């Protein structure tokens, strides 16, 4: 077979597989939003059947034959060309997939669906005892998976590869050691400042119907294409891409707290704008996919924090809020801006302030690492969780739902995902700095309602590349420097030093 014919056949096959995956994405969105309570058991079996179908396709001998026929093809000589990128990533995925036994792939998919469904109910009931068996099964199966796909140094590296290709646990440990230390020092200085923001501004009466309208208005105006997406309420906010023209987000609403819906919506819109900006002509191939979850989180965290908590952003949008919520009628712009940037150690990660957020991730990363190094078992997690919250944030949950059961990630078997949030913060600081150098006064643009220049810059420099580069290499390619936690620390020190006059 000619290499050109082999590539055409392989591309056709992989795009067909992507259509099956997109149907799975739609079923996943439905499970997290509107599925009837009694439909979860059947949905778990659907996911198991889909996992079996996808595993057979991903490990098909035909992929190996096509890849063999492409060895040494001249049109793949430029490693950054779309065809070369696709073949590289298809080969990597094929080699990993065929190491996983079909029965393990099916069992893991079913356990993930069952775990997530159980978590939604058991978290509400604060029932750790009921949830523990689901989590134990997920950890056991994930350990099997890590051993099956293989690794050079440790099992956790095998899990990281699914979310952040090229990343390693040892390098993350070094990053968290430095960032955690610097964050705790800055937190101590902030908490000791006499210039504290007003309390309770976000914890007032915020009618839900008005929140829905405001969130929709804001995310639409910053660049989320609402004609190619939708916003729904959910237990845990997420973004999900079904395919071109259908990228969905969710957020959660509380009648007495505005921050969850507002910043959850902006965060997920950041994810969605990345998906909407990926080249549609490459859909179904690696060139039409995000570079990694760290890069994905860089988009959501950049829009949520660097943009959404800036003074310029609220100079533009605060009139909308004051016109929508009577509870803000006596609150000045300056007071509101300080309130949305308030630093206070808290229990809930998704509602954490920008400074303490990475400490929340450090807790989860260290617990995951201990689990997969055999230093910790699932039964030990609640006590270990509480101990780390005391050490890093000086507080401790009084229940499981605000502690070890608060996130959906472990219930869905997403081990190795959490550190990508902090990688996203590191990348976001680098990208915002580079964008500011390229575009000038970004906050001034935000104040005038001009968000397209930043979005277009991200589309050109990040979104358009798909998986052309490994995540760290992509950031270096855009910024001209290797990504470093020092840039994030400098950003945090400048921002909170000004806000708290320290």
The rounded distance, in Å, linking the Cα atoms of 197 and 39 is: 46
Q: 3-class secondary structure for 92-159?
A: HHHHHHCCCCHHHHHHHHHHHHHHHHHHHHHHHCCCHHHHHHHHHHHHHHHHHHHHHHCCCCCHHHHH
C-alpha torsion angle, residues 366, 368, 370, 371 (rounded to 10): 160
Please give the structure tokens belonging to residue 86: 């696709």
Cα separation of 277 and 63, whole Å?
A: 29
Report the alpha-carbon distance of residue 216 to residue 209 in Å, rounded.
11
CA distance 487 to 502: 19
Give catalytic status of residue 4 as yes or no. Answer: no
Structure tokens at 172: 């993350």
Q: Are 114 and 131 in contact (CB under 8 A)?
A: no
- What angle is formed at CA 464 by the lines to CA 460 and CA 469, rounded to 5 degrees? 110
Contact in structure between 274 and 286 (CB atoms under 8 Å): no
Q: Which of 116, 268, 297, 430 is catalytic?
A: 268
Q: Which helix (H) or strand (E) holds 243?
A: strand 239-243
Nearest to 460 by CA among 288, 285, 277, 307: 277
Residue 163: CB atoms within 10 A of its CB come to: 21
| β-pair partners for 243 | 246
Question: Counting every residue, how long is the chain?
Answer: 502
Residue 501 backbone class (left: φ over 0; alpha: ψ -120 to 50; beta: rest): left
**Residues catalogued as catalytic:** 268
């Amino acid at each position: 077979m000619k290499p050109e014919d082999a590539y055409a056949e392989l591309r056709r096959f992989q795009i067909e597989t992507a259509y099956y995956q997109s149907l799975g994405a739609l079923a996943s969105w439905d499970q997290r939003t509107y599925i009837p309570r009694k439909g979860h058991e059947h949905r778990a079996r659907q996911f198991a059947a889909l996992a079996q179908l996808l595993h057979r396709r991903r490990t098909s001998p035909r992929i190996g034959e096509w890849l063999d026929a492409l060895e040494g093809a001249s049109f793949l000589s430029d490693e950054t060309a779309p065809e070369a990128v696709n073949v590289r990533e298809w080969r990597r995925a094929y080699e990993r997939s065929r190491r996983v036994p079909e029965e393990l792939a099916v069992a893991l998919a079913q356990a993930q669906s069952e775990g997530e469904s159980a978590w939604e109910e058991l978290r509400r009931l604060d029932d750790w005892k009921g949830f523990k068996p689901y989590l134990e099964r997920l950890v056991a199966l994930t350990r099997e998976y890590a051993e099956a796909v293989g690794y050079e140094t440790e099992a956790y590296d095998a899990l990281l590869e699914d979310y952040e290709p090229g990343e390693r646990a040892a390098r993350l440990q070094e990053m968290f050691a430095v960032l955690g230390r610097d964050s705790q020092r800055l937190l101590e200085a902030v908490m000791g400042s006499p210039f504290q923001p007003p309390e309770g501004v976000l914890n007032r009466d915020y009618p839900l119907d008005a929140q829905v309208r405001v969130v929709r208005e804001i995310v639409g105006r910053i660049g989320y294409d609402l004609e190619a997406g939708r916003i729904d309420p959910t237990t845990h906010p997420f973004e999900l891409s079904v395919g071109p023209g259908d990228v969905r987000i969710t957020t959660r609403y509380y009648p007495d707290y505005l921050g969850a819906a507002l910043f959850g919506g902006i965060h997920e819109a950041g994810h969605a704008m990345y998906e909407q900006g990926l080249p549609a002509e490459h859909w179904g191939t690696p060139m039409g996919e995000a570079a990694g979850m760290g890069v994905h989180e860089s988009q959501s965290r950049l829009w949520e924090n660097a943009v959404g908590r800036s003074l310029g952003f609220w100079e533009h949008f605060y009139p909308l809020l004051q016109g929508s919520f009577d509870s803000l009628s006596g609150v000045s712009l300056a007071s509101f801006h300080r309130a949305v940037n308030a630093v206070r150690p808290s229990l809930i990660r998704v509602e954490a302030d920008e400074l303490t957020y990475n400490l929340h991730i450090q807790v989860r990363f260290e617990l995951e690492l201990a689990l997969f190094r055999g230093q910790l078992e699932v039964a030990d997690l609640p006590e270990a969780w509480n101990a780390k919250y005391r050490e890093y944030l000086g507080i401790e949950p009084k229940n499981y739902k605000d502690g070890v059961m608060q996130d959906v990630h472990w219930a869905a078997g997403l081990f190795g995902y959490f550190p990508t949030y902090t990688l996203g913060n590191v990348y976001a600081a680098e990208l915002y700095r580079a964008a500011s150098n390229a575009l000038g006064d970004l906050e001034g643009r935000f104040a005038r309602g001009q968000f397209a220049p930043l979005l277009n810059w991200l589309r050109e420099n990040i979104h358009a590349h798909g998986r052309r580069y490994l995540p760290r290499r992509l950031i270096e390619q855009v910024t001209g420097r290797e990504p470093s936690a020092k840039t994030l620390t400098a950003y945090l020190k400048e921002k909170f030093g000004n806000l708290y006059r320290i």
